[in-house]
Amino acid sequence: MTRSENMARVKGKDTKPELYVRKLLRSAGYGYRIHCDWLPGKPDIYLPKYKTAIFVHGCFWHAHENCRMFRLPQSNTKYWIEKLKKNTERDAKNRTELLKLGIKTIIIWGCTVKDMMKHDLKQIIEMETISEILEQVEEPPDVYEL
Ligand SMILES: [Zn+2]
């Protein structure tokens, strides 16, 4: 993948993993909004009833730690370290802002979505986890990663 293809992918909305997660939520009967630019970090998905934001994070762009799908590029390494550091710092700031608004955050990593697409059992398990997180009424709200 070239850098410009990568850029298109990160800026792009309605990525394949996003569409997949939305489809699952829809079939489970959850109501949601998408491309929520009125909320910090513009969550990919927002469930108003549950005050929960869902981010479907690409493992590269959001620098998923200890992930098989994340590898630092061999060229321009310094540039990428800085760039990805900025991304993760921005992500953390957005999560904090959401928590201040009483909104919990669920991050679904690209590698998790990939596994869910491949394995039915994984899909069932992760969807159960999402339901549990949504139904959980807690004080204060928290951040979850799948
Ligand atoms: Zn990952």
Question: Domains of the chain, with CATH numbers?
Answer: 3-145 (3.40.960.10)
C-alpha torsion 145→36→134→64, nearest 10: 0
Over residues 17-60, the pLDDT tens digits come to: 999 999 999 999 999 999 899 999 999 999 999 999 999 999 99
110: which 2 tokens? Answer: 């690209």
CA distances from 95 to 16, 66, 127 (A): 23, 21, 22
Over residues 104-125, the pLDDT tens digits come to: 999 999 999 999 999 999 999 9
**Residue 62 Cα, ligand 1 centroid: separation in angstroms?**
9
**Residue 114 Cα, ligand 1 centroid: separation in angstroms?**
9
The whole-model pTM stands at: 0.88
C-alpha 140/C-alpha 44 separation (Å) is 22
Coil/strand/helix, residue 17 = helix
**Residue 76 Cα, ligand 1 centroid: separation in angstroms?**
22
Strand ranges (DSSP E) for the chain?
33-34, 45-47, 52-57, 104-109, 143-145
**Residue 64 Cα, ligand 1 centroid: separation in angstroms?**
5
